[in-house]
Amino acid sequence: MPEAPAPVLVYDRVAANRRATWRLLALFTVLILPFVAGFIPLLVPAIQFGVLLPALGGAAFDRIQAAGPGRALLFAVTVALALLAVLATGVAVAWLELQQATRLVLRLTRSRPIDREGEPELWRSVENLSLAAGLPTPAVFVIESRSPNAFAVGLDPRRAAVVVTRGLLTLLDRRGLHGVIAHELSHIGNQDTRLNTVLAAVLTVLRLPLDLLSRAGLPPLALRGCLVLSALAAVMAVVAVLAIVAEGALAFWFFASEVRGALAGTSRADLALIAMMIFYGPLIMGSPFYVLFGAQLCGRRVRAAVSRQREFLADADAVLLTRNPEGLALALATVGAAGGDAIRVPRAAAHLFFVEPASAEAYWWDRAVPSHPPIEERVTLLGRMGSGIPPEALAAAVEAGREFRAAPPAAAPAASLAARRRAAPRETARSAPTPAALPADRDGESARDWVAPAGVASQIWLAHGPIPLLERPEAGARARERLPAGTPLALLGVEGAFLRVQTGTGTTGYIDKATAVRWKEPR
Amino acid sequence: MRAADATLGVVLVVLVALLLWVIVVYNNLVRGRNRVREAWSGIDVQLRRRGSLVPNLVETVRGYATHERGVFEEVARARSALQQAGGAAAAASANTALSQALGHLFAVVEAYPQLRASESFTSLQRDLGDVEDKIAFARQFYNRNVLEFNTRAETFPGNLVASTLGFSPAEFFESTDDGRAEVTLDLSGPPRARAPEAPPPPSAS
């Protein structure tokens, strides 16, 4: 896709994005048609015997099927019904996805809403930069993850949200934070978030079969087997079609009269059957590949082309807001080196983020099509906007990021927890389900998602309640409030036999280390 | 006769095209003007907020520094000038004047450590700083919109339509940061030396 010259005014960009959204939806329809066709082999018998047979009654069904044209009619009706069913499902899923998109993404990424008191600096930055961008102030969320990253969601600027991770807040200085927030606000202002949400919804639908398959508990090897087998079948289908066409052409070329004679001797119904089999056979063979992999790979390609350009544009707009290309460029370099990609997110939402998130467990087909342009390219472009970025500043930024990744600062909760675990193993062993004592991946996938590089997650949920939130790390201290069971808490650090935590409303306090906590949001 | 018809047709087509073009240009200008107005309201809100913070600040300072009537009057004058200012350029210069007056007020405050440490004063100071930041950010958005509108209204051939239909270019909100520079100078200057030994206690308010 050639990179079209970017419109200069925000309003024009919004209009361009709206057109892109419509084009995308049209493309989605085109992509989903063969996808639907792939389901037809499964649906046709189900509809014929499950819907039409009971609806028409056995005798009528047999009578219609006995006649040649009747069978064709029956088949056409079945296919139409199947198309309708699959399209309706797809549209319903996409629509639900769109309605729920913002909330869903926030929930899946465990974003916690914050207010002015909870994070005054972050809040003020968002508020001020929104003024400069002429946007209503979006809601602000924080993800308790050490991996520095950020994203914006929302179908329109009035219901948008900006989300940053705890790692980003600790790693970046004010200038860098401003750069990142301005980038995210530009996504909201250009209404990339809407385009992105539509993209995410489309991709979710296209990925549905593969996701269902991998959720069913199949090991990666089996998945790969599916891929290989379905690809083989698809190749065979293509070869078969080519062979049939070639054979037919050759037969007509050399034995025209014999073929005509043979055709004349065959009944019309049989001819229709043969034609149907020639058309239907390869479709059945080829469809699994397209349904499982082909459709979403195409979708991913489209997304890569769309969101690449959006990222460059948001970088440029962020510079317009902060008037400081260096801040954003250094933030990009730092975050890139600090492993902003370590965050685990649903793959369909990957393109929302500030830097491309990736995970060790991502399948290779996820890594093959990146949703973001490379960081170096973005930094170079930003360098051209201002008076250039001093190489030593860039090197220092990368170095800071690397240090952050290698050894978390002593003040960070993860590091202090890890240190404490080494220093006092007996104590932690006694107070059984404290975070430090719990193996990080004991609670299945969700715990692994939020494991910081040091091996400790930083968000916990109270297992029982009510638990007093103490003012000081002392046994007899006054309680700020009583927390019911299931309260989500951000882990800030350890002091003696107490954990320093923060609630969703921004109150900080201490809870006893022996308090039973969960890694996973209780349902 | 035929030739006349053709000429008439061409003239008609040209006239209709011209009319359509004027309509498009006019609509764009109106849209631009509305955007400028909307952006101005962003600044206006913050200016009002700033204006409403000033009396509280003056009251708080008056509780400690009763003798600085000159400064209080200057601030009050600057504040009412800002509230009465019409138009972006006038508001900008009134805002700068208020900044200067507040600079003098803060210079006076330097002499009263107890006031500087008081809860109400620090929170007011923080709020004022926040408002000033916000004015600066809102100014950025406003000026960008003004630039867009003025460019549309002043470039050829749009300017023909703009001048005929009475669109005048919008005013920029230009802030000269002289006032702030003066504040910093004053803060590090002599007032520290003349700290009175017993500042009067705040009034019971």
B137 vs A9, A11, A128: nearest CB: A128
Mean pLDDT of the region A434-458: 33
State whether B145 and A134 contact (CB < 8 Å).
yes
Residues 6+ apart with CB under 8 A from B13: none
State whether B140 and A128 contact (CB < 8 Å).
no
Query: What is the domain class of A413-518 according to CATH?
Result: mainly beta
Res. A285: pLDDT tops 90: no
Residue A282 CA neighbour count, 13 Å, CB half: 16
Which residues in chain B touch residue A117, judged by CB atoms under 8 angstroms apart? Answer: none
Adjacent-strand bridge partners of A481: A469
Adjacent-strand bridge partners of A163: A141, A151
A124 touches B: beta carbon within 8 Å: yes
B130 vs A124, A133, A134: nearest CB: A124
DSSP A446-508: HHHHTB-TTS-BSEEEESSS-EEEESSSSTTPPEEEEEPTT-EEEEEEEETTEEEEEETTS-E
Domain boundaries, chain A: 110-196+309-406, 413-518
A134 vs B39, B46, B134: nearest CB: B39
A316 touches B: beta carbon within 8 Å: no
A129 vs B130, B137, B148: nearest CB: B137
Fold of A110-196+309-406: Zincin-like (3.30.2010)
pLDDT tens per residue across span B67-86: 888 889 999 999 999 988 88
pLDDT at A523: 44
- DSSP β-ladder status, A139-143 and A479-483: unpaired
Residue of B nearest to A182 (CA): B137
The alpha-carbon gap from A132 to the nearest alpha carbon of chain B, in Å, equals 4
pLDDT at A221: 77
Adjacent-strand bridge partners of A467: A483
Query: Mapping DSSP to helix (H, G, I), strand (E, B) and coil, where does residue A153 land?
Result: strand
pLDDT at A506: 67
Question: For A477-486, B64-73, B84-93, B188-197, which range has the lowest pLDDT when averaged over its residues?
Answer: B188-197
Contact of A97 with A104, CB cutoff 8 Å: yes
Q: How far is CA A19 from the centre of its chain?
A: 23
Contact of A415 with A407, CB cutoff 8 Å: yes
The alpha-carbon gap from B41 to the nearest alpha carbon of chain A, in Å, equals 11
User: What tokens appear for A347 in the block?
Assistant: 């793959």
Distance CA A241, CA A261 (A): 24
Which residues in chain A touch residue B145, judged by CB atoms under 8 angstroms apart? Answer: 134
Residue of B nearest to A322 (CA): B137
Residue of A nearest to B140 (CA): A132
Distance CA A371, CA A350 (A): 7
Q: Which helix (H) or strand (E) holds A162?
A: strand A161-165
Mean pLDDT for all residues in chain A: 72
Amino acid in the structure at residue A91 = V
pLDDT tens per residue across span A91-143: 777 777 677 767 777 877 778 898 888 888 899 999 999 998 888 999 999 98
Res. B47: pLDDT tops 90: yes
Return the residue in B127, B134, B139 with the most chain A beta carbons within 10 A, the one to mutate for interface testing: B134
CB contacts < 8 A (A, B): 27
pLDDT tens per residue across span B10-40: 999 999 999 999 999 999 999 999 999 989 9
Closest CA to A438 of A410, A463, A407, A473: A463
User: What tokens appear for A400 in the block?
Assistant: 């800071």
A321 touches B: beta carbon within 8 Å: yes
State whether A132 and B138 contact (CB < 8 Å).
yes
Which residues in chain B touch residue A129, judged by CB atoms under 8 angstroms apart? Answer: 137
Domain boundaries, chain B: 2-194
Model-level pTM? Answer: 0.62
B73 touches A: beta carbon within 8 Å: no
A117 touches B: beta carbon within 8 Å: no
Mean pLDDT of the region A199-227: 74
The CATH superfamily assigned to B2-194 is LemA-like domain (1.20.1440.20)
Distance CA B87, CA A321 (A): 24
A127 touches B: beta carbon within 8 Å: yes
Res. A195: pLDDT tops 50: yes
A131 vs B138, B144, B148: nearest CB: B138
State whether A321 and B140 contact (CB < 8 Å).
yes
Closest CA to A11 of B144, B170, B20, B40: B144
Report phi then psi at A218, rounded to 5: -70, 135
Contact of A359 with A344, CB cutoff 8 Å: yes
A133 touches B: beta carbon within 8 Å: yes
Report phi then psi at A178, rounded to 5: -60, -45
A343 touches B: beta carbon within 8 Å: no
> Residue B199: which pLDDT band, with cuts at 50, 70 and 90?
very low
pLDDT at A343: 63
Residue of A nearest to B46 (CA): A131
Mean pLDDT of the region A479-508: 75
A134 vs B133, B134, B141: nearest CB: B141
User: What tokens appear for B30 in the block?
Assistant: 């109106």
Mean pLDDT of the region B149-154: 90
The 3-class secondary structure across A404-428, one letter per residue, is HHHCCCCCCHHHHHHHHHHHCHHHH
Res. A51: pLDDT tops 60: yes
Whole-number Cα distances in Å, B30 to B38, B152, B159:
12, 11, 13
A136 touches B: beta carbon within 8 Å: no
Residue of A nearest to B127 (CA): A124
State whether A129 and B133 contact (CB < 8 Å).
no
Residue A49 has what DSSP assignment? I
CB < 8 Å from A in window 121-140 of B:
130, 133-134, 137-138, 140
B145 touches A: beta carbon within 8 Å: yes
pLDDT at A414: 42
Distance CA B132, CA B152 (A): 30
B133 vs A11, A128, A134: nearest CB: A128
Residue A265 CA neighbour count, 13 Å, CB half: 6
pLDDT-above-90 percentage for chain A? 5
Residue of A nearest to B32 (CA): A11
pLDDT at B183: 35
pLDDT tens per residue across span A237-247: 888 888 888 88
pLDDT tens per residue across span A350-371: 667 777 765 434 455 555 556 6
B41 touches A: beta carbon within 8 Å: no
A132 vs B130, B137, B148: nearest CB: B137
Which residues in chain B touch residue A124, judged by CB atoms under 8 angstroms apart? Answer: 130, 133
Closest CA to A457 of A143, A112, A88, A123: A143
pLDDT at A393: 82
Distance CA A459, CA A453 (A): 14
